[in-house]
Each structure stands twice: as structure tokens, then as C-alpha cells.
């Protein structure tokens, strides 16, 4: 895995943050297992972007903001919103990137979900489906044509990022072994249906790296 992919391919590492790891506020089961897999995979990529879920303290996606139960849902102006436990509050330990994530050459960190009244699972477009994070423009400015996605959580932020990568015209591969899911009411099955329908390629780290090096 010593060769680097051309700069036409970017690895996008989604939300590998303390709050999504075991012990965190919105722990993804076995979320910690992806860290060494991603560290190793990242060495094969010249262009790496990281994302950080980055919410204000009383964000609209938090159950506590509405006095509601975590994991219930609420109709908001932009659509149906799952209400989460308070997580990834700006500048807290929970929002920090996992300390064992080791990708010194990553060039960009995109923070998302920082608008008080709009959530953003996707690294590309917020939940109002109009506000852009700027990631597509950044990738295009660098001639990127293909996006490889890894991280947390597969059924929410990875899935929505993959679907939006396709919508923005990028080829998109999800490395399944380098992701873990939350799993809420069949969310993972639904997410794969939508991703595959959007033309996302489902692969695994070693297999994909072997076939594209
Ligand atoms: C995520 C739920 C709420 C994720 C972020 O990173 O998948 N999920 N905020
Ligand atoms: Zn969030």
C-alpha cells in the first residue's frame, strides 16, 4: 500500500470523533475499530479530507433542545429530523477527532452541522438540501473525480455524503469495513438501498486498494 493514488481521487474520512466512539455521547457500536483501518488506508491517498460534526450547544438536532426523548423524531421546516443525544458540541472533547486517528497529511477539515437551525449529516449539502458546505467546489478545484468514503456513521453521515457525492457528479466508493453503523429502525438496510440506487460502489479496503493501485 505504498503507492499513492492520483490526486483525482480523494479519501473523505467522516466524523471519526470521540462522541461517536465507545464511551461517547452518541457511541457507534464498535466505532473504534475503524480507526486503525482508516489510518492504514489513508497512507495510500495523497488527498485526504476529514469531516467533523460540529454543533452549537442547543442545536436543533438535539433531543434536549426540544425537551424530547433521544432517538425520537420531529417534523422540522426542512423535513423529518431524528433527535439525537447531545453530541459533538463545538470545541468540546466529544467533538475532537479521535486521538488515535493518525493522518498527518490530511489537508482539509470540513465542519458541518454548525448552523443552529439546520442539521447536516452530509459532508456536501445540509439538511435543507440547499446550503452547501463547499466540499464539492473544493474537490473540483483540485481536479478530484472520485471520492472514497470511510468513517462514522455508515447509515447516517457516510450514507448521505455518498449519495450527495454522486449527486455532485463524483464517482463514489464506500469502504464498508472502514465504517460502522448506528442501526436505528432498519437504517443501515435503507441506507444501502439508497446508496446503491445512487450508483455508489460498495467495496472493502484491501480489495479496493489492490484493484486500483
Ligand atoms: C451523525 C447522527 C447525528 C453521524 C451525526 O456522524 O453519522 N449521526 N450526527
Ligand atoms: Zn450530529
- Global pTM? 0.96
- The per-residue pLDDT string of the chain (213 residues; one tens digit each, 9 = 90 and over) reads 445 667 799 999 999 999 999 999 999 999 999 999 999 999 999 999 999 999 999 999 999 999 999 999 999 999 999 999 999 999 999 999 999 999 999 999 999 999 999 999 999 999 999 999 999 999 999 999 999 999 999 999 999 999 999 999 999 999 999 999 999 999 999 999 999 999 999 999 999 888 876
Q: Which of 88, 157, 172, 179 is catalytic?
A: 157
Ligand 1, atom 8: closest residue by C-alpha:
156
Annotation says 157 is catalytic: yes
DSSP-assigned beta bridge partners for residue 110: 51
d(CA 181, ligand 1 centre) in Å: 10
The separation between CA 180 and the C-alpha centre of its own chain, rounded to angstroms, equals 11
d(CA 213, ligand 1 centre) in Å: 31
Gap between the Cα atoms of 159 and 117, Å rounded = 22
pLDDT at 2: 43
pLDDT at 213: 61
Gap between the Cα atoms of 203 and 179, Å rounded = 11
Contact 83, 70 (CB under 8 A): yes
Gap between the Cα atoms of 194 and 178, Å rounded = 19
pLDDT at 12: 98
d(CA 65, ligand 1 centre) in Å: 16
d(CA 61, ligand 2 centre) in Å: 7
Ligand nearest to the CA of residue 17, numbered in listed order:
1
Annotation says 177 is catalytic: no
Annotation says 74 is catalytic: no
Ligand nearest to the CA of residue 161, numbered in listed order:
1
Residues by chain with Cβ below 5 Å of ion ligand 2: 53, 113
Environment class of residue 92 by beta-carbon count within 10 Å: exposed (0-12), middle (13-18) or buried (19+)? middle
pLDDT at 210: 80
Choose the residue to mutate in 71, 84, 154 for probing ligand 1, maximizing ligand atoms within 8 Å of C-beta. 84
Amino acid at each position: 500500500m505504498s503507492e499513492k493514488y492520483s490526486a483525482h481521487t480523494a479519501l473523505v474520512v467522516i466524523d471519526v470523533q470521540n462522541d461517536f466512539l465507545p464511551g461517547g455521547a452518541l457511541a457507534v457500536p464498535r466505532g473504534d475499530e475503524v480507526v486503525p483501518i482508516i489510518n492504514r488506508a489513508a497512507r495510500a491517498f495523497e488527498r485526504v479530507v476529514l469531516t467533523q460534526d460540529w454543533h452549537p450547544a442547543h442545536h436543533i438536532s438535539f433531543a434536549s433542545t426540544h425537551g424530547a426523548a433521544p432517538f425520537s423524531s420531529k417534523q422540522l421546516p426542512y423535513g423529518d429530523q431524528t433527535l439525537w443525544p447531545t453530541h459533538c458540541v463545538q470545541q468540546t472533547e466529544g467533538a475532537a477527532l479521535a486521538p488515535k486517528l493518525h493522518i498527518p497529511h490530511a489537508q482539509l477539515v470540513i465542519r458541518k452541522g454548525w448552523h443552529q437551525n439546520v442539521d447536516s449529516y452530509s459532508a456536501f449539502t445540509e439538511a435543507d438540501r440547499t446550503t452547501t458546505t463547499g466540499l464539492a467546489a473544493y474537490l473540483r478545484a483540485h481536479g478530484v473525480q472520485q471520492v472514497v468514503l470511510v468513517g462514522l456513521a455508515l447509515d447516517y453521515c457516510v450514507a448521505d455524503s455518498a449519495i450527495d457525492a454522486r449527486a455532485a457528479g463524483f464517482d463514489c466508493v464506500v469502504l464498508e469495513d472502514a465504517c460502522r453503523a448506528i442501526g436505528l429502525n432498519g437504517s443501515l438496510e435503507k441506507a444501502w438501498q439508497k446508496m446503491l440506487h445512487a450508483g455508489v460502489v460498495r467495496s472493502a479496503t484491501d480489495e479496493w486498494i489492490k484493484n486500483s493501485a
